Amino acid sequence: MSHSMIELRLLLEGGQSQSLDIAPDSPELARLFHVLGSRSASGAGSDEQFFQLPLDGGKESFSFSSTQLVAISTRPPVLIQFEQQDSAPPPAAQPLIEQIERPHHMVIDDFLGHYEHQDMLAYAMQQADAFDPGTVETGEQQARQNLAILEFAQAAHSRLICNRLLTWLPRILQSFGMAPFPVQQVESQLTASNDGHYYRAHLDADQDRDLRRALTCVYYFSKQPSQFSGGALRIYDAINDGGQRWQADSFQQCESVSNRMVIFPSDSFHELMPIRCPSGKFEDSRFAVTNWIWQQDQPDDALTHGWGHMHCASEPAGRMD
């Protein structure tokens, strides 16, 4: 995941403040926290340091002394851990700067037309016998429990969703700040979640990007009024420390509203919260079509998607005129 700039607000003595954007890996950012952290840890002022920070892309600069610094406010939050030896406060604490990454996500309501949505439901009911238990074992515990049709991608209903999704894709990529890319495939799976079903926090793409899933797009549908509760999708923030990412405790939550598509980067930690469906009836399940948009480096005009008209993007929208 690419790093975005951090919005920094420096509060200085006398009520002065200054806002600026700074790169997360900027040494100046580390120095600022170091100064503040050292003072906090020692309870006294540390050696005075001089700061000069660029403003407005380097057209201006803002200079101040470390002794003037009172507090630092950042967006997104920047977590600091100070390495400590025993319980004695270190003479100069070393900050480990970890940036919380909040994945962008997009919610599209009324994704399908009324009749298409109804047809999806009818299809799911007809296929009741084709659902198999979808389980993932992770050694210590069962990570997932629901029913799935893994070969759903061959169905016309999968192509219907895929075609609509690809129509949205240029706008989705724009919203995510992603450069247009050739689509290798749109993998798709239909699941039914009923009472007690869940899917613990996981990633859909590995961090080494061997699995070229770029975006996960989950389409929810269910009988109305819905006969279940829970089942929300949690998209967790990630803590990035020198390229290593792990799941944070904070998250954004999307309710699985019928006829809603939720899109997020496949390398985001996400979790399906447990569902409660008192009737336990299959038709009262919360259904979801999970689509993974795979990215490839070079366009391949032989590949078609959706109804068969869509090819890999060889030229991104807006750049071909």
Partner 1 sequence: MIYTVFVSADDVEEQKEAELIEYAWQRCGQAGELIRLVPSPPGATLPNHSLARAEQTLSWTKHPYIQDYYPGYNVPAALLEWLQRDAIDATILLLESGSILRQAIDQEVEPGASMGHTWNTMPSGDGPFALSEKYTALRAWCVNRDLELPRVQLPLLIHSSDLLKICPRWLELIGLIRTVPDIDTAPPGHPLKLALAIAAAEYRLGIREEDLTSNVIEAEDGGQNYLDYYEAYEAAWANGDHLRSLLPKRRPGVRQACVLDQWYLELGSDTGLVSLNVSAGAIWQLCDGQRTLMDIVETLQATYGIPLKTMMEDVTEAAKILRYQGAINLETVA
Greatest alpha-carbon span in the chain: 74
Residue 169 or residue 288: which is nearer to partner 1 going by CB?
169
Nearer to partner 1, 235 or 312 (CB): 312
Give the residue, chosen from 180, 198, 200, 273, that forms a contact with partner 1 under the rule CB under 8 A.
Answer: 180
Residue window 35-74: x/- pattern of binding to partner 1, with contact defined by CB under 8 A: ----------------------------------------
Give, for 315, the enclosing helix (H) or strand (E): none
| Spacing of C-alpha 74 from chain mean position | 20
Q: Binding to partner 1 by residue 166, rule CB under 8 A?
A: yes
DSSP for 170-199, written as a single string: HHHHHHHTPPP--EEEEEEEEEEE-TT-EE
Neighbours of 121 (CB within 10 A): 17
Name the minimum Å distance from CB 279 to partner 1.
27
What are the structure tokens assigned to 134, written together? 């979808």
Q: Does 179 sit near partner 1 (CB under 8 A)?
A: no
Other CB atoms within 10 Å distance of the CB of residue 25: 12
At position 311, the amino acid (one-letter code) is H
Q: Cβ closer to partner 1: 144 or 164?
A: 164
The span of 72-80, 158-166, 213-221, 236-244 binding partner 1 (CB under 8 A) equals 158-166
Count of residues interacting with partner 1 (CB under 8 A)? 34
- CA–CA separation, 47 vs 244, rounded Å? 33
Question: Taking CB under 8 A as the rule, which mask of x and - marks residues 97-136 in contact with partner 1?
Answer: -------------x--xxxx-xx-----------------
The three-class DSSP label of residue 287 is strand
Identify which of 15, 13, 18, 6 has the alpha carbon closest to the alpha carbon of residue 61: 18
Interface ranges with partner 1 (CB under 8 A): 110, 113-116, 118-119, 160, 163-164, 166-171, 174-175, 180, 305, 307, 309-321
